[in-house]
Every structure is written in structure tokens, then in C-alpha cells.
Amino acid sequence: MKNKLYSLLVLCVLVTLTSCNEKLSIETEVQGAPEIIEFAPVSGKAGTQVTVKGNNLRDIETATIGGVEAQILYKLSQQEIVIVVPREGTKNGKIILSTSRKNDDSESTRAESSQSFTVTYPTPVVTEFPKGGRVGNNVEILGTDLDIISKVYMGDEEGEIVYQSEEEIAVKVPFIIDDNTTVSLKYTNQTGGESEIKGESDDFLVEKDQPEIEKIDQESLMERSLLTLSGTHLNLIEYIYFGEEKCTPVSQEENIIVFRVPTLDETSTVQIKVTYYNETKEIILADACKVIRMKNLFAANQAIGTRNSKYGYGSMLNGNSADGNPICTPCVLKDKENHDKIDFGAYVNKTLDFQLNSPDAILNPPKNNLKNYWCGTSSLPNTDLPTEYTSFTAVQTRFVVLNTTKNAALIEQIRTNKDQLEITPTLFTSLNITKSSVRTRKAEEAEGTVSEQIFEKGSIIVFHNKYKDKYGILDILDVHIDYDQSSNVNNGDKNNQGIAYITFDLYYQR
């Protein structure tokens, strides 16, 4: 009994599906081959609208007259379309219409007229050329038979034709460098070549926006500093010149522009100017301004802190980047080519002292603290493979914290000369720069604890990267240690947010 009921159910489903398929069946109309019966007019000039009548014209996609492509203006019905006699390369010939379908053996995809279309070639006459116009605005050209004009030029620049009739052309003025130019019109002549009608030479006055920019009133500018200037139409500015040194804008808007002062070969007094309009125009900003070249790579008010901190500081420092780039960059070690560029890394110990460590002290198998340096929310790649970081461990950086009494003269020299301090090995011959790390005080150490390896706010640290053979100086501006954090929170904990950071001025040997 169950089998009979099951069979009956299957039969009902099949009947239902068959009924549905019958309802969904769609008859497809097969489009026949296109056919041209007649067209009118049978002759005309460029721009003439030609009505073509025939059959099966619905799928027509392209049209040609004498082999030259013509615009399809309207598809009125299966029996009628309208095309336009082309303005360029126009010549006599038959009209051919082609469909979008691929050609096959069963039907033709093109229709050809039995008679040719005859092109007439009147000579256009201009009765009034425009005398001037602003770039981007429209100007009018008046005359007769202007509808056969194919192009309008202003000097060497082609203008966009936005409206065209027998008696008028409206054209948008293109950007033109010259202040005066000549208007010319192109059209196809009866030989199929191109003829030209020209206005008076340089009779068209080009109106265009001119940038206005504030002058530089500073007597001197520091290399790599940002120079911000205001004005109008500053988006037209292309370059700024400091003497012969050519620079592009760092950022640029309509009313504000920012440049970075370049590094010259030596401190020099130079003329400063900006250029625009393909450097054919210029504005002098300063006749004589001193551009100061620093004697060291100076980076003010920098910061380095625990990885992924809320302060966004990187935990690796590259002093060479002080030449106008960020010196502490998060994730810097994820790119192998940066491994030997690092001077030192920052790290918080479980005793909550903030350390600056030489690369060879961070990773020195079996010791491996590199795993504690993170890139965002993930640890650095392959930290369990020391051979991947061979060039990193080749860097030996050594430190010393200056004694405020014993090294008072050197500290004064550093803070007096700042970026004009000449950093050379002879400057540090009296120092014993041997520590592979320096740190802040531990949680259990008394406030104010300092030594040649322990620093605080106001300390000066000298370091020597033996791999680069470069010296650097850190003038510590501020120290932040959150001593309330539990001792098991360190850089390896992804929940750690800014347990420690320092800010400093960096002076680095050029």
C-alpha cells in the first residue's frame, strides 16, 4: 500500500513539473537578414541626416558611407533608421549597415544599398571669429555651412565642439599656455583631404586664472622643514625652486600649498620662486633667503614606545631616516631589507624598566627577545628562525648615559649647537661607550636613580652603531612608565596598550 502511495506521489510531482515547464516555455523570434530598400536624401554635405528604410534593421550596430563610419542617430523601427554623414574623411559611396550578430552560413549580417550616396562639398565661410574667452568657457563662431566643420583649434590645442549648426559653432576654450593665439577650423574638402580656415594671427585673447601666493618673509629656512604658503589658484603651481634645486609640492589645494625645504650641498643664500603653466610663468617669493644645511641629521620631538601602543609609536629606530622621514616605524622589521638599518629597539621588561637594546642583544641565540616585537596585532614573521635575521644581529650598537657633572661641558655643547653640532668620533673620545643597552629605573628602584646605563627625563644618551660606524645622540624630553601595570605585562602581551614610551630629540651623524 505504501509503495502505491509513493508511486502516486511521484506521478503527481512529474505532472506538476511538466505543466510548469509548459507555462515557462518562451518562443524566440528569429531576426532575419537586414535589408536596405531606399534612403533619402541621396546626396548631401557632412552632417546631413539620412533616413534609411528597409527590413530587419533592429539589430543594426554600425553604419558606413563610402567606407567611412557614420553615426547612427536614431533607430526608429524595424524598417527605419537615421544616420549622419561623417564630418571627417567624407566621400561618396554606398551605405552599408551591419548587425551586432556574428556572421554565419545561414544568414547575412550586413546590408548594402543598391545606389551610392553623393557627398557635396560646400566651402564654409566664417563671418565672425571670437576675440577672446576664458579657459573652460564657451565661445561662438558664426558663418555659413559651419555644420561640416570637423575640428576647431586654438593654437595647437583642440577645443571641444559643444554645439554645431549651419550658422553657428559653440566651442569650449581649452587650456592654452600662450596669452594670445589663433583660431582655426578644419573640414573635409572634395578631394577627401583636410582644409583649414584661419582667423587673424594671435587675435584670440586667452583669459585664464593666475595664481597669487604670499611672499616668504623669513630671512632663513631650515632644510627639511615644511614651508606652508597661502593664496589663490595655488593648484596651478607646479614647482618651487630654491636656487637651482627644483621641488614638487608635498600637498596642494586651491588656497594652500606645502613644500619641504630641500637639503643643499651647503648653507646657501638663494632666490626662491614658484613656476606654473608648464614652467612658462614664475613668481618670485624671496630674492635672497638663507637655506640652512644642518651639520647632523636632526629630528625633533620624536617618540619610541611599546609595540601596538595607543600612542602609535614604533619600537625600532633608524637614525638615517632622520633625513626627513619617520625614524621610529611600526613593523619596520617585517621587510628583510630593513634588518641592518636598525640602530636599536625599545622593550619593557617584567620589572617595568624601559630598555633601549642593541640588535645583537635582542637576538643572540639561545637568547631571543625578538619574539616580543610585534607588527600590529601579530608577532614578527619567522622570529623562531634566527638565520632569517642574520643581518639584524650583525648590528652592534653601544650606549652610554652622560653624567651631568662629569660630562657637563659636552651636554652644554650639544644643547647649544643642536642641529649645527658637528658629530664626529673625536667629539666622544673621552666617553666609554660600551653598554649594549640602557634603561629607565625599575619599579623597585628609587625615583631619580641614574647611572651610565640608567636614564630619566632630561638625560642625554650617546650611542655608536658599529655596523654603520655612526654616532647618535638622544636628548630625552619625557619618560612615561606605567608602574601600576602588573609585572607580567610586557610587549609580548597583545592586550598591552602603551605601558611605556619616551620622547626625545635625535641628533645623528651625517
> CATH no. for residue 281?
2.60.40.10
Asked which of 198-212, 214-228, 249-263, 343-357 is least confident by mean pLDDT, the reply is: 343-357
Rounded distance, CA 54 to CA 39, Å?
A: 9
Q: What residue has cell string 596651478?
A: 236
| Residues 191, 42 share a domain | no
| Residues 187, 65 share a domain | no
| Residues 458, 335 share a domain | yes
Domain presence at residue 29: no
Among the listed residues 212, 182, 209, the one whose alpha carbon sits nearest the alpha carbon of residue 197: 182
Task: Mention every residue, 6+ apart, whose C-beta is less than 8 A from residue 119.
Answer: 43, 44, 45, 46, 65, 66, 85, 90, 91, 92
Chosen domain end from 244, 270, 292 = 292
pLDDT higher than threshold 70 for residue 28: no
| Residues 334, 218 share a domain | no
How many helices and strands (H and E) does the chain possess? Answer: 4, 40
pLDDT by residue (tens digit) across 103-126? 554 457 889 999 999 998 899 999
Bridge partners (DSSP) of residue 173 are none
Q: How far is CA 193 from CA 37, 82, 208, in A?
A: 31, 26, 34
| Residues 182, 313 share a domain | no
Task: Mention every residue, 6+ apart, whose C-beta is less than 8 A from residue 47.
Answer: 84, 85, 87, 147, 148, 164
Domain presence at residue 20: no
Task: Mention every residue, 6+ apart, whose C-beta is less than 8 A from residue 345.
Answer: 315, 316, 317, 356, 357, 359, 362, 373
Prior bond to 262 cis, omega within 30?
no
pLDDT at site 230: 96
| Residues 466, 317 share a domain | yes
Domain presence at residue 12: no
| Residues 304, 277 share a domain | no
Cβ atoms of 464 and 433 closer than 8 Å: yes
pLDDT by residue (tens digit) across 295-306? 999 988 988 887
The gap between the terminal CA atoms of the chain, to the nearest Å, is 99
Helix (H) or strand (E) holding 140: strand 138-144
Query: Average of pLDDT values for 354-381?
Result: 81
Beta strand extents in 365-499 (DSSP E only): 367-368, 374-375, 378-379, 397-401, 437-439, 460-465, 470-481
pLDDT by residue (tens digit) across 453-488? 999 999 999 999 999 999 999 999 999 887 765 444
Helices (H), 25-55: none
Average pLDDT over the chain, rounded to an integer: 86
How many residues would you count in the chain?
Answer: 510
pLDDT at site 107: 56
Domain presence at residue 464: yes
Angle at 461 between CA 355 and CA 294, to 5 degrees: 125
Helices (H), 164-240: none
Domain presence at residue 25: no
Asked which of 304-313, 333-342, 353-362, 437-446 is least confident by mean pLDDT, the reply is: 304-313
Please compute Rg for the chain using Cα positions: 39
pLDDT at site 291: 96
Task: Mention every residue, 6+ apart, whose C-beta is less than 8 A from residue 325.
Answer: none
Task: Mention every residue, 6+ apart, whose C-beta is less than 8 A from residue 285.
Answer: 213, 215, 216, 229, 240, 272, 273, 274
Chosen domain end from 182, 207, 232 = 207
For residue 423 the three cell numbers come to 658629530
| Residues 282, 338 share a domain | no
Domain presence at residue 18: no
| Residues 238, 144 share a domain | no
Domain presence at residue 171: yes
Burial string for 259-286 (b: 16+ CB within 10 Å, else e) reads bbbbbbeeeeebebbbbbbeeeeebebb
| Residues 198, 223 share a domain | no
Domain presence at residue 161: yes
Cβ atoms of 509 and 423 closer than 8 Å: yes
Query: Average of pLDDT values for 388-393?
Result: 90
| Residues 360, 483 share a domain | yes
At 27, the pLDDT band (50, 70, 90 cuts) reads low
Chosen domain end from 245, 276, 292 = 292
Parallel/antiparallel/unpaired status of strands 256-260 and 251-252: antiparallel
Domain carrying residue 256: 212-292
- Total domain count, the chain: 4
Residue 417 burial by CB count (10 A; 0-12/13-18/19+): exposed, middle or buried?
middle
pLDDT by residue (tens digit) across 76-105? 999 999 999 998 888 899 999 998 765 554
| Residues 280, 321 share a domain | no
pTM given for the model? 0.59
